[in-house]
Amino acid sequence: MIEAIEAGFFQREIADASYRYQRSLEAKDRVVVGVNAFEREETPGDLNLLKIGRESNSGKRARCSRSAVRATVLRWKPRWRSSNARAAPTKT
């Protein structure tokens, strides 16, 4: 194994496989949608991207305040304990 590494066998195999793969893509022997088949003609500037402003993020933070999370955890804790009755005991 060491001799193969030192001789560059693995690097050569990877390079050969990469070359064969690239040639198959260019010859269209292998079809990859969006790479060599069914490509879109539009430029990246033509895409309609969804942009989310800071306002929507701040509303999410308000809903996930520390006190709200704590209240939810306390409300669900008894259910978690009852469903994990056979689980190993935990320190509380």
Number of domains in the chain: 1
At 9, list the tokens. Answer: 């066998």
How confident is the prediction along the chain (92 residues), in pLDDT tens digits per residue? Answer: 999 999 999 999 999 999 999 999 999 999 999 888 888 776 666 677 788 777 666 666 666 778 888 888 888 888 777 665 555 555 55
Q: Domain for residue 31, yes or no?
A: yes
> Do the domain assignments include residue 48?
no
Domain that holds residue 14: 2-40
